[in-house]
Structure 1
Amino acid sequence: MDIRYKYFPYPVLSPFSDDYLNSRFISEINVIKDISDLVLNLSVLLDDSELLHLITHNKADYVFHIECPQTSYRTIVKTSETEVEKRIPESKLNGRVSICTFIVAKDDLGSFRSDSFNEDYGKMTFHIKRGGILAIANQVNIDITKEINDLAKTNSVFSILRRDSNDDLGMQIEIDGDKIKLFLCNEEFYNYKNVAAVPTFQALLHAALILPALIYTFETLRRSGTDEYEMYHWFKAIEKALSKSNIKLNQETLENKPSYELAQKLLALPISRGLKSILNFGTEEEED
């Protein structure tokens, strides 16, 4: 969504009209990259007393419209606060993301006017319906350049292999190589291949297979040290991913942060996502 000039049947505070004099409505967006999320810090500056009165009396809201054309992701954030945080999975965004900020009426306004109206409006008042746009701030565009290094993709850091047996030893894990290897017996591997073909179940696979493998890896590093593993591709990938959250992969971190906590952070809370995928199976996911 791009903000374009348009006519309204009533005055609107905006950067492209002189409906208001000596009033400002400005938005500011700051972006922080987490391991798997983009954190948008959304803030506004408003100095029109009548519009501020509407917001403080729950008759209007600040509305941030966030849209990424390349991925078709769209969401809105409604708030009466001048600052709010919105976390978005990075997988949902790519390329240009536009954030358009408005003030929108929450109720019908029977006789609205502001002392900041252009003098051409005299003492006129206006009826504005619920959902009507009262103010438009500057549009902010950000560019998202994605790194192709997703720890949750088994072909980047993990290899899931078949162990030619039908024993009941469960999954075996090896970390002596460029990839973390997960070995499954014949039946487990067959079931894995069937489940992996269903995109909805990816989060469940992360929780069932990748999460325990990462916990095992962190525990091994904690006991044995990092020196003999630092040359491996998986180590460098995990180190880079943790650095996005200002976490160093060193002995101090391994001693002071639980392995399960680090593993869940890297995989963007796979248990929570897995449970949601079960509840949402067969239904369409709705935007917030």
Structure 2
Amino acid sequence: MKFDRQKTFPYPVLRPFSDDYLDVDFQTNTEFTISGNEIALDCTFITSSEELQAEIDKGFAKFVSIVSCRDTYFRKVIQTDQQAFSVKLDADSLRGEVLVDSYIVAVKDINGFRSQDINPEFGQEAFFFTAGQILAQDETNAIYIDRELFKPLSSVFELVKNEQLSGGKWKVGVDQDNVQIEVSPEMKESIDNARNSKTSRAVLINSLYFSAVTQAIQMLKDVGDFGDLKWARVMSQQIHNKGLDVESQDAYVIAQELMKHPLNVLRANVFQGESNV
């Protein structure tokens, strides 16, 4: 059952935007990691309801996540009594929008359930839950799976020469499928020759490519709609999947997340081993 903030239950269910329970929450965090031909899903559950957690500890309820993909008709139900789980999924089974719906569900009949956090409007009587009933529900988490997301972010950036540029001048073009990083012919030759060096790659990532990624993100912030250009689609989906907000967060902050904190690459390949003088 998909999350619907307008839906009502005949018994108290701990949900966002609902006052069935007061002063307690049920929250989940889902993270997808794409590696090779596998997608790893890591999910954590947190509830501040001591009574619901007690039912899980006793074996009368479980955390449940349902992973579904309409485009491929994929559906997987994961049950656990632990506050976190990790599962690997075949990348071919997921495409387009992927939904994760998470719950606390009774797996056995529960007699005489009480909680001081239940809204007094439900009365003072104890509750009886039958196996299969939803006890808590979180908002649906949606991510987007695109074959291009299996490639590094650099795959949507292309270094090209521009005969009109000279010296260290460079430009960023965003009107093609790949972001065009334009440099002079001489500079492109120098960069191409330097790519075999880890030190040089670390410097390039933290200078030219980081600046280009930041500029592309700023263009998404300022313009927004780039049609179906590949670079915009891939970057927008990666921003969404990482739980980032292109409207409220600075472009350079988002760039660091998308590039997996490139300053660490500079430290490992350039700074490490150097001593202060």
Q: Could you tell me the TM-score, scaled by structure 1's length?
A: 0.50
1:268 aligned partner: none
Paired amino acid for 1:2? K
CA distance in 2, matches of 1:56, 1:148: 38
2:109 aligned partner: 108
Q: Structure 1: which 4+ aligned runs deviate by more than 3 Å?
A: 147-150
1:141–1:148 distance in 2 versus 1, CA, 3 Å? closer
CA distance in 2, matches of 1:92, 1:66: 11
Paired amino acid for 2:70? P
Are 2:13 and 1:12 aligned? yes
- Displacement of 1:18: 0.4
Work out whether residues 2 and 98 of structure 1, in 8 Å CA contact, stay in contact via their aligned partners in 2. no
Paired amino acid for 1:37? E
Work out whether residues 60 and 104 of structure 1, in 8 Å CA contact, stay in contact via their aligned partners in 2. yes
1:148–1:29 distance in 2 versus 1, CA, 3 Å? closer
- Displacement of 1:138: 2.0
CA distance in 2, matches of 1:148, 1:62: 29
Report 1:272-287 matches (<5 A).
Answer: none
1:31-74 deviation per Cα after TM superposition (whole angstroms, max 9, x unaligned): 11111110010111111010010011111000001100111100
1:106–1:148 distance in 2 versus 1, CA, 3 Å? closer
- Displacement of 1:148: 10
- Displacement of 1:19: 0.3
CA distance in 2, matches of 1:149, 1:9: 44
- Displacement of 1:121: 2.4
For residue 15 of structure 2, give the secondary structure of its aligned residue in structure 1.
coil
Q: Which segment drifts farther, 37-46 or 138-147?
A: 138-147
2:39 aligned partner: 38
CA distance in 2, matches of 1:139, 1:113: 27
CA distance in 1, matches of 2:9, 2:123: 17
1:82-123 deviation per Cα after TM superposition (whole angstroms, max 9, x unaligned): 110011100000000000000000111122221110122231
Are 2:120 and 1:119 aligned? yes
For residue 147 of structure 2, give the secondary structure of its aligned residue in structure 1.
coil
Report 1:94-173 matches (<5 A).
Answer: 94-147=95-148
CA distance in 2, matches of 1:141, 1:83: 19
CA distance in 2, matches of 1:102, 1:149: 29
Unpaired runs of at least 5, structure 1: 151-226, 228-288
Q: Could you tell me the TM-score, scaled by structure 2's length?
A: 0.52
CA distance in 2, matches of 1:116, 1:129: 20
2:3 aligned partner: 3
Paired amino acid for 1:133? I
2:244 aligned partner: none
CA distance in 2, matches of 1:29, 1:89: 17
2:240 aligned partner: none
Work out whether residues 24 and 49 of structure 2, in 8 Å CA contact, stay in contact via their aligned partners in 1. yes
For residue 102 of structure 1, give the secondary structure of its aligned residue in structure 2.
strand
Report 1:121-270 matches (<5 A).
Answer: 121-147=122-148
CA distance in 2, matches of 1:39, 1:149: 12
Work out whether residues 109 and 127 of structure 1, in 8 Å CA contact, stay in contact via their aligned partners in 2. yes
For residue 56 of structure 1, give the secondary structure of its aligned residue in structure 2.
helix
- Displacement of 1:17: 1.4
Unpaired runs of at least 5, structure 2: 152-195, 197-277
Work out whether residues 47 and 53 of structure 2, in 8 Å CA contact, stay in contact via their aligned partners in 1. yes
